Amino acid sequence: MALKTVEEYIASLRELKTRVYMFGEKIDNWVDHPMIRPSINCVAMTYELAQDPQYKDLMTVKSELTGETINRFTNLHRNTEDLRNKVKMQRLLGQKTASCFQRCVGMDCFNAEYSTTFEIDEKYGTHYHENFKKFLAFVQHNDLVVDGAMTDPKGDRSKAPHAQADPDLFVHVVERREDGIVVCGAKCHQTGSVNSHWHIFMPTIAMGPDDKDWAVSFACPTDAEGMYLIYGRQSCDTRKMEEGASIDVGNAKFGGQEALVVLDHVFIPNEYIFMNGEYDFAGMLVERFAGYHRQSYGGCKVGVGDVVIGAAALAAEYNGVEKASAVKDKIIEMIHLNETLYCCGIACSAEGVPTKAGNYQIDLLLANVCKQNVTRFPYEIVRLAEDIAGGLMVTMPSAADFNSDTPVGRNGETIGEICNKFFVGREGVSTENRQRIMRFLENMCLGAAAVGYRTESMHGAGSPQAQRIMISRQGDIAGKKAMAKAIAGITD
């Protein structure tokens, strides 16, 4: 197979027996649920573009594991060109969906697991690397969506996993058997979890000898016995369930999603285990996955930022202020900030280096600088977009009011006629179009899409402080001191 069509992807989801819960109830037909389907549409775009000859070179690549043409989201990066094309692909998908297309975590996990398992085997003589290669070949051939699950609930963050009052606050092994392991715990904030065929679970922090049972990594089908998902709420999410509310939703076709993933005594066969007690490699896996994922933000957030900028420019045009110098300057600043993020994503890719396993890793310092900027610049881009749009984006009556035929005026004018009369913009622009762009900006800046742009820019791939810690480690302060001493003529 190697490359699925959109139709085949949707059909494959229907075949799963994934247990999804929302608002305290089990959702049987989650594929067609109005709150979930937009996020599925986002993932489907990764399949649609891979079938489009226009994007063939960006969206597909030849696998060194299977020899087949595969979706780039299942690829192992073999050179710096692969790393750069990854970022370009993510920007394209952000432009096409204006939301989170959810396959990045799996792709970043693949590359981190590939190099880390190689080095675990090198030290301990284990067989994790071969396990992983066979699993990835299976994923590539079937063009599967795999969720990379790293973030544990953590409980008391001042305590290590083994010291928690409840051991389930970090995913851990509760039983080791001859044919595999049994695991318990949970992963939270899991992007695209419901829409994935499989999950790969990873440690979330560096660990010590007492944390051996928590130093575990493995693959698991999303509908495995004992595994279930509780869907996360988003701002304004129930608008998707309102009849005739496509305008109020803002981005009615696409959206992101997160979930709490619970493992309740799930059995994992040996062939799907990639780490089992090698605590000294937990930090390496975390650092490498985080590096790849922080690189990703220099692509996906930039693509979504392109759409935010375009929407702000349209709002200015519909309001009749697009020629004002102050508005022009704000648009220029938004472009400057967005392209700076893209520069970071490309730079850490161009400076990539090969790992011992042979796949390429980004420059970790520059990847962390990239993500640190992402925790700031989208907030300013959104602030400027809200400034340009005006307050109407958050005070406008509903679509039902604009369409209402209920008479309220002295001369029998309806609520709809009143709304259309007083919310008109510049001449030649329909009130509906102005209404649509305002709601779209509300969705991007404050609503459900903000989870995949603004707020997620802050916390995705680790908190801002996590990047600053890595910048400190990778920044080579000692080397910089030596440079200054040499030029200043200082000898110790």
Whether residue 349 sits in one domain with residue 248 = no
Residue 394 lies in a domain: yes
Catalytic annotation, residues:
100, 104, 191, 258, 293, 297, 300, 456
Whether residue 297 sits in one domain with residue 275 = no
Whether residue 152 sits in one domain with residue 14 = yes
Whether residue 315 sits in one domain with residue 223 = no
Tell me, what DSSP letter sits at residue 414?
B
Please, which residues have CB within 8 angstroms of residue 200's CB and are 6 or more apart in sequence? 106, 109, 110, 113, 146, 147, 148, 149, 217, 218, 219, 220, 274
Residue 456 has pLDDT above 90, yes or no: no
Where is the domain boundary, 281, 301, 324?
281
CA pseudo-torsion sign 409, 411, 413, 418: negative
Whether residue 158 sits in one domain with residue 41 = yes
For 52-72, the pLDDT digits (tens) are 999 999 999 999 999 999 999
At residue 448, the pLDDT reads 74
Residue 489 lies in a domain: no
Where is the domain boundary, 229, 252, 281?
281
Whether residue 374 sits in one domain with residue 276 = no
Q: What percent of the chain stands above pLDDT 70? A: 100
Q: What does the buried/exposed string (b/e) look like for 145-184 if buried means 16 or more CB atoms within 10 Å of the residue's CB? A: bbbbbbbbbebeeeeebbebeebbbbbbbeeeeeebbebb
> How far is the CA of 326 from the CAs of 111, 323, 330, 338, 340, in angstroms?
45, 9, 6, 19, 21
Please, which residues have CB within 8 angstroms of residue 256's CB and are 6 or more apart in sequence? 39, 42, 99, 100, 102, 191, 192, 234, 448, 449, 451, 452, 456
Whether residue 372 sits in one domain with residue 229 = no
The whole domain housing 419 covers 287-482
- Look over the chain and give the mean of its residue pLDDT values, rounded to a whole number: 96
Residue 490 has pLDDT above 70, yes or no: yes
Whether residue 453 sits in one domain with residue 354 = yes
The pLDDT confidence band at residue 312, using thresholds 50, 70 and 90, is very high
The pLDDT confidence band at residue 114, using thresholds 50, 70 and 90, is very high
Instruction: Please tell me the total count of domains within the chain.
Output: 2
Q: Which amino acid, residue 424?
A: V
The pLDDT confidence band at residue 450, using thresholds 50, 70 and 90, is low
Which domain CATH number covers 437? Answer: 1.20.140.10
Whether residue 250 sits in one domain with residue 178 = yes
Residue 491 lies in a domain: no
Identify the CA nearest to 251 among candidates 399, 454, 436. 436
Residue 454 has pLDDT above 90, yes or no: no
The pLDDT confidence band at residue 451, using thresholds 50, 70 and 90, is confident
pTM for the structure as a whole: 0.97
Residue 476 lies in a domain: yes
Residue 156 lies in a domain: yes
Q: Which amino acid, residue 154?
A: K
Where is the domain boundary, 281, 315, 343?
281
- Please give the structure tokens belonging to residue 141: 């051939």
Q: At what angle do helices 37-50 and 6-15 cross, to 10 degrees?
A: 140
The pLDDT confidence band at residue 217, using thresholds 50, 70 and 90, is very high
Residue 395 has pLDDT above 90, yes or no: yes
Identify the CA nearest to 18 among candidates 220, 182, 267, 174. 220
Residue 449 has pLDDT above 90, yes or no: no
Whether residue 476 sits in one domain with residue 347 = yes
Residue 412: how many other CB atoms lie within 10 Å: 8
Low-confidence winner among 53-57, 263-267, 442-446 (lowest mean pLDDT): 442-446
Separation CA 191–CA 297 (nearest Å): 14
Low-confidence winner among 26-35, 143-152, 340-349, 442-451 (lowest mean pLDDT): 442-451
Residue 147 lies in a domain: yes
For residues 156-175, average pLDDT: 98
* CA torsion, ordered 469, 470, 474, 478, to nearest 10 deg: 10
- Please give the structure tokens belonging to residue 316: 């200015």
Whether residue 365 sits in one domain with residue 223 = no
Residue 87 lies in a domain: yes
Residue 221 lies in a domain: yes
Whether residue 314 sits in one domain with residue 225 = no
Which domain CATH number covers 105? Answer: 2.40.110.10
Residue 194: how many other CB atoms lie within 10 Å: 29
Q: At what angle do helices 104-124 and 128-142 cross, to 10 degrees?
A: 150
